[in-house]
């Protein structure tokens, strides 16, 4: 990488707000033991899914490395000079509630989060969203649909999402904008926090 390119990439990584800034798809531990497919991980590393505006879901037990994988994918996007951003769903909810009290706050919020070419939402559906949050998620995912890529890191299986989203038409509409053109990856039940602690 040239100095200018390196500087741009560093800036993208810094602004992405990664929970694990050193995360790296090439350094994922226990790939086979966790049931991860090396071929799928290698394919994700090319970021071709972003060119196709596909989504990714990392689903698995607490401590199974979902957040790390989400950050590693966002960092890989930055290395490809793609604008990425990482946020936990509780922080997204807080930012949305703060935005509602500001002039044009909601529109600015939606424009900001719709603009990231890759958006990683960690702790997806950890807390069931309220009605205002569901309306925001529908509008945000509608704006991102078929033009950008979103990564969801969650401990909930797809069958539980509808209920976590409150059921009804909002849940139907949100699910409809996620489940198509999505790569689903089970991160298993191997506790990577324990593994890392004993290394």
Predicted confidence (pLDDT) per residue in 119-149, tens digit: 999 999 999 999 999 999 999 999 999 999 9
Average of per-residue pLDDT across 191-195: 53
Task: State how far the Cα of 172 lies from the Cα of 184, in Å rounded to an integer.
Answer: 19
Q: What is the CATH number of domain 2-198?
A: 3.40.50.300
- Let me know: does 175 contact 161? Beta carbons within 8 Å: yes
Residue with tokens 């972003």: 50
pLDDT digits (tens, 9 = 90+) for 48-64: 999 999 999 999 988 77
Q: What are the boundaries of each domain within the chain?
A: 2-198
Task: State how far the Cα of 123 lies from the Cα of 156, in Å rounded to an integer.
Answer: 9
Average of per-residue pLDDT across 183-191: 78
pLDDT digits (tens, 9 = 90+) for 92-106: 999 999 998 899 999
- Let me know: does 19 contact 122? Beta carbons within 8 Å: yes
With residues binned 3-state (H G I as helix, E B as strand, rest as coil), the percentages for the chain, rounded to 5, are: 50, 15, 35
CA angle, 139 as apex, 65 and 155 as ends, to 5°?
Answer: 20
pLDDT digits (tens, 9 = 90+) for 66-79: 999 999 999 999 99
Which segments of 61-189 are extended strands (E)? Answer: 84-88, 118-122, 149-154, 182-188
Residue with tokens 């990577």: 192
pLDDT range class, residue 30, cuts 50, 70, 90: low
Q: Please check the confidence at residue 80 and state whether its pLDDT lies above 80.
A: yes
- Let me know: does 56 contact 49? Beta carbons within 8 Å: yes
- Let me know: does 141 contact 177? Beta carbons within 8 Å: yes
């Amino acid at each position: 990488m040239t100095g200018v390119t390196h500087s741009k990439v560093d800036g993208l990584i810094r602004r992405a707000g990664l929970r694990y800034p050193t995360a790296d798809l090439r350094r994922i531990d226990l790939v086979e033991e966790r049931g991860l497919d090396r071929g799928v991980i290698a394919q994700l590393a090319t970021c071709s899914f972003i060119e196709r505006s596909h989504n990714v879901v990392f689903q698995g037990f607490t401590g199974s490395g979902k957040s790390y994988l989400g950050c590693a994918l966002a960092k890989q996007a930055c290395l490809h000079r793609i604008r990425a951003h990482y946020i936990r769903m509780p922080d997204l909810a807080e930012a949305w509630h703060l935005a509602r009290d500001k002039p044009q706050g909601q529109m600015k919020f939606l424009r900001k989060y719709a603009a990231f070419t890759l958006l990683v939402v960690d702790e997806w559906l950890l807390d069931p969203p309220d009605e205002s949050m569901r309306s925001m998620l529908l509008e945000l995912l509608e704006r991102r649909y078929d033009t950008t890529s979103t990564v969801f890191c969650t401990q909930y299986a797809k069958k539980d999402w509808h209920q976590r989203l409150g059921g009804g038409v909002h849940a139907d509409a949100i699910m409809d904008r996620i489940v198509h053109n999505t790569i689903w990856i089970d991160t298993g039940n191997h506790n990577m926090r324990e593994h890392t602690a004993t290394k």
